[in-house]
Amino acid sequence: MDFKKPQFTKISDYIWEISKDYKQGMRVPARIIASKKVLDQMDDHVYDQITNVATLPGIVNYAYCMPDGHSGYGFPIGGVAAMDTEDGVISPGGIGFDINCGMRLIRTNLTIDEVKPKLHELVDTLFKRVPAGVGGKSKMRLSPQEFKQVMERGSKRCIEKGLGWEEDLERTEMKGSVESADSSKVSEKAIKRGLGQVGTLGSGNHYLEIQHVKEENIENSELAKKWGLFPDQVVVMFHCGSRGFGHQVASDYLNLFLDVMQSKYGIKILDRELACAPFKSKEGQDYFSAMNCAVNMGFANRQTILHEVREGFASVFGKSAEDLEMHQIYDICHNRASVEKHNVNGEMKELIVHRKGATAAFGPGREEIPELYRDDGQPILIGGSMETGSWLLAGVDSAADTWFTTAHGSGRVMSRAQAKRTYRGEELQKNMEKKGIYIKAVSFKGLAEEAGGAYKKIDEVIESATSAGVSKKVAKLIPIGNIKG
């Protein structure tokens, strides 16, 4: 592939710009949010892909890449683009195949000393309760009618079915149920792929983790306390999405957009993975409705897993989940597009904001934040590698330029194949155990691909995100137990 390394204009220590002149067809400049060190670790495809994004019709101000950016297809992972809903496009490649891939964080009133003696039993119990891996089948296979409820109502349907607490909805982005979801826009194939997958973790970089809140890792004690964290507490975090259902929705609409994009709408793109349609067109609206079904499925998936986690803890500790105070702190999505109002050069505009491997990070007061957290800024969950830890952050006012968006994870620096050559799953598991992290994995090969060394250092990514002013630190969470698909 012909590739010319771009010249970066330093906007600040943490913002690097690639000008519109870099590539023919760029409508706006591209901006990468990263320290110099993190920027230098990014692979070259990131620059190529983010400048391709800058060519999409209707893109406003900049194509952004977050500090955890790494090469994807179409958009890089970490890519963010806001299009004007009037004359802009929607692109499945700006959302990803795993629609509503996201993170959920649950607190407990247990301390590390109470959990440590039972850690193996706890991880083994959760491993049995939460199906993981390829072919990890859900305990329930839904009827198409029941699945329709999931597609259109998300977590709300789970709560009605007794899979969770009413308050969980208040602590989930968009209350776990996005409105503009129309199941008639979803193919039979997608539905068949999803029927048996509600409540399953999946594989790849998806995981469920038991984490330790160390006193020295609490960075903002006021917010940490308000949100229910305390020193030496044990919390649970997990990462998964809408599974094969969402993958099929994305694939179906990429096919459709490739058919109509140029012939019907005269749009030319630089990478077929950026296939798109005008947001207000029939095809654009149909995709938006179908994508939102997958957003709801993703919420329902994590809600069902939460139910299993609560039941698992209750059985191991001999107390109810209520007695263990297993309240959800938050659930966020990092692969979706949503219609939001933002200030564009002094004027409030309606934008369709694409976030692919990037997290919404609304500052205090924004109506998108549940009332519970509205004064604080949105809770943000950043998943690190299974060795290094994860972060809880909060949204800040100064993130307005990036459409209130921050990073979503560490970002890969080593390919899966290279990781498999470098690490052996069995050995990794033993080494992790020595470090006090008990891992249960479906696949040792899959485990090797997710070794901590295959990722950027999470603390450097967080440093970039916070120093650039797109979020602020609350606490770092250290893994002690991990389930990998």
Partner 1 sequence: MPYKFIDGVAIADVTFEATGTTLEELFESAANAVTASMVEDLKTIEEKITKKISISGKDHERLLHNFMQELLFYKDAEGLVFSKYTIKITGNSLEAELVGEELNQEKHEWITDVKAVSWHMYKLEKTEEGWKAFVILDV
Using CB under 8 A as the criterion, which residues of the chain lie in contact with partner 1 when the complex forms?
Answer: 1, 43, 45, 70-74, 77, 93, 96-98, 133-137, 189, 192-197, 202-205, 243-244, 247-248, 250-251, 254-255, 258-259, 271-273, 275, 412-418, 442-443, 445-446, 449, 485
Minimum separation from the CB atom of position 187 to partner 1 (A)? 10
Minimum separation from the CB atom of position 248 to partner 1 (A)? 7
Please identify, using beta-carbon distances, which residue of 8 and 73 lies nearer to partner 1.
73
Instruction: Give catalytic status of residue 408 as yes or no.
Output: yes
Minimum separation from the CB atom of position 451 to partner 1 (A)? 14
Please identify, using beta-carbon distances, which residue of 87 and 259 lies nearer to partner 1.
259
Cβ atoms within 10 A of the Cβ of 317, count?
Answer: 18
DSSP line for 246-286: HHHHHHHHHHHHHHHHHHHH----SSGGG--EETTSHHHHH
Distance CA 117, CA 322 (A): 22
Minimum separation from the CB atom of position 107 to partner 1 (A)? 30
Q: Is 352 helix (H, G, I), strand (E, B) or coil?
A: strand
CA distances from 122 to 178, 320, 484 (A): 33, 15, 14
Q: Is 83 helix (H, G, I), strand (E, B) or coil?
A: strand
Distance CA 212, CA 322 (A): 20
Please identify, using beta-carbon distances, which residue of 429 and 466 lies nearer to partner 1.
429
Minimum separation from the CB atom of position 73 to partner 1 (A)? 3
Quick check: 470 and 402 in contact, CB under 8 A? yes
Minimum separation from the CB atom of position 454 to partner 1 (A)? 9
Please identify, using beta-carbon distances, which residue of 239 and 310 lies nearer to partner 1.
239
Please identify, using beta-carbon distances, which residue of 49 and 149 lies nearer to partner 1.
49
Which residues sit opposite 210 in a β-bridge? 236, 481
Please identify, using beta-carbon distances, which residue of 151 and 275 lies nearer to partner 1.
275
Minimum separation from the CB atom of position 250 to partner 1 (A)? 7
Q: 311 exposed, middle or buried (CB, 10 Å; 0-12, 13-18, 19+)? A: middle
Please identify, using beta-carbon distances, which residue of 195 and 480 lies nearer to partner 1.
195
Residues 6+ apart with CB under 8 A from 470: 33, 66, 361, 396, 398, 399, 402, 405, 406, 407
Please identify, using beta-carbon distances, which residue of 129 and 247 lies nearer to partner 1.
247
Number of H helices and number of E strands within the chain?
16, 19
Which residues sit opposite 343 in a β-bridge? 348
Q: Which position among 206, 239, 247, 408 bears the catalytic label?
A: 408
Rg (CA), the chain: 21
Minimum separation from the CB atom of position 368 to partner 1 (A)? 28
Distance CA 368, CA 431 (A): 42
Q: Is 219 helix (H, G, I), strand (E, B) or coil?
A: coil
Closest of 129, 247, 259, 254 to residue 192, by C-alpha: 247
Pair of tokens at residue 351: 């934008």
Residues 6+ apart with CB under 8 A from 210: 115, 119, 122, 123, 234, 235, 236, 479, 480, 481, 482
Quick check: 238 and 208 in contact, CB under 8 A? yes
Ramachandran assignment for 439, one of left (phi > 0), alpha (psi -120 to 50 degrees), beta (any other): beta
Please identify, using beta-carbon distances, which residue of 273 and 331 lies nearer to partner 1.
273
Minimum separation from the CB atom of position 322 to partner 1 (A)? 34
Catalytic residue ranges: 408
